[in-house]
Amino acid sequence: MIIQQREQGRRTLLSAIRRIGSVARIDLASETDISRATVTTITAELLRDGLIEEIPRDTADGDARRGRPRVDLKIRGAAHLIAGAKIGDSTLSLVLLDFEGVQLAELETDLAHQVWEADTLADCLLHNLQQLASKADITYDQISGVGVGIAGIVDAPSGVVYWSPSLKERNIEFCDILKKRLNIPAFLDNDANLVAVAEQSFGEGRDVSDFIVVTIESGVGMGIVIGGKLYRGTRGCGAEFGHTKVQLDGALCRCGQRGCLEAYVADYALLREASVIATDDRTTRTEERIKQLLDAARDGDETASNIINRAGRMFAMGLANLVNIFDPQLIILAGERMQADHLYAEGVLESIRSSIVQIDKSPPEIVIHKWGSLMWAKGAAAYALAGVAEIALLDMNEHAE
């Protein structure tokens, strides 16, 4: 019942160590404004519980300073194993990280279905997590927690999936199902949010407190980080960038509404228009058709250029609106597919800059960050990692001696 005040200090120090990477006690003290005495006390507890470890002095260092040498502390990777999963259209991506965030194993498999019963999907996930474990030479029950990213509308705090292209039913308490089936702590969120977590943990957002991540996959997703925290909206359906309207009574979107950004920039939107071009062969598969369209545009085909350009301008408009509303420090355009290249072209970025409210201060930075499909899974793992760290800290209150 007693509120452990010590908890505060432990949290501050553990996250400072994670943020800095490897740091001596005396620097921790100045960094966190906690006295050296208390830093010693608290880090001793964290060491005892195995959450951090001392780094053996680097003998061959040239720093030749007088006095007692600093002893660096870092997160102890072996403290916990964390898995992350991204449930995609047709593939399942998995990674295994240690408590330090180091990747120990990865796994990518084709999925049997695109749309699943919740229970079956949980079974599939369990099976592949076990595969992942054996690939990393550990047993499944050594995994302390798993993060799962799924497309759709997810209320992370309650673990409810209101809708997902991967699930047959709506309004599923999918996180509960996962926890029961997987038998370990599970953390579920929208996949775009997890990209934001990935960028915050491993990517471009490491030292930025307010940023926005935009992802382009089959749809357009967004994650918002405000004050160093993921902002999820109150019902779990915020950050629906792809369904912001860029044209009154505009093009028809998959969601049934008109004028959504997605209805101008997504694959299916481009192909809908491409179908009027004579050379477009509607029997080839999506990716190939997109490639042909882009090639045609690059080769100067007017109609193709027109299609691509409009997509770019719509995208720029939507993004400029985000800037005008949020005024973030940084915008990360993240993606794994080359298809998004035309949206990340310099002309588009310039168009964004010219559409935001102008003041005598440099505009937000826009960076393009390309990565493979595993980044989604790594974001999921990073999300779980935070959850597991939280559990570990709370545990320390219980068995304090």
Distances (CA, A) of 84 to 101, 108, 119, 152: 11, 12, 19, 18
Instruction: Reduce the secondary structure of 331-348 to three states and give it as a string.
Output: EEEEECCHHHHHHHCHHH
Amino acid at 249: D
Over the window 16 to 55, marking each residue x when it contacts DNA by CB under 7 A and - when it does not, the resulting string is: --------xxx------xxxxxxxxxxxx-----------
Burial per residue of 88-120, b for 16 or more beta-carbon CB atoms within 10 angstroms, e otherwise: beeebbbbbbbbbbebbbbbbeebeeeebebee
Q: Residue numbers of the site for a copy of itself (CB under 8 A)? A: 3, 5, 33, 153, 162-163, 170-171, 210, 222, 224, 226-227, 231-241, 243-248, 255, 257, 259, 313-314, 317, 320-322, 324-329, 354-355, 357-361, 364
Stretch that binds DNA, among 4-12, 88-96, 288-296, 375-383 (CB under 7 A): 4-12
SS3 content of the chain, % helix, strand, coil (to 5): 45, 20, 35
User: Which entry of a copy of itself, DNA, none binds 322, CB below 5 to 8 A by partner kind?
Assistant: a copy of itself
Say which entry of a copy of itself, DNA, none residue 236 contacts (CB below 5 to 8 A, set by partner kind): a copy of itself
Looking at beta carbons only, is 144 or 321 nearer to a copy of itself?
321
Using CB under 7 A, pick the residue from 70, 135, 181, 313 that binds DNA. 70
Q: Are 85 and 377 in contact (CB under 8 A)?
A: yes
Residue 283 partner contact from DNA, a copy of itself, none using kind-dependent CB cut-offs of 5 to 8 Å: none
By the rule CB under 7 A, 62 interacts with DNA: no
Q: Considering CB distances under 5 to 8 angstroms, the limit depending on partner class, which of a copy of itself, DNA, none binds residue 360?
A: a copy of itself
- Give least dist CB 59 to DNA, A: 9
Q: How far apart are CA 126 and CA 103, in angstroms?
A: 19
Strand 330-335 versus strand 365-370 pairing type:
parallel
- Cβ of residue 134: shortest distance to DNA, in angstroms? 39
Burial of residue 182 (number of CB atoms within 10 Å: 0-12, 13-18, 19+): buried
Residues near DNA (CB under 7 A) are: 1-6, 8-9, 24-26, 33-44, 57, 64-71, 400
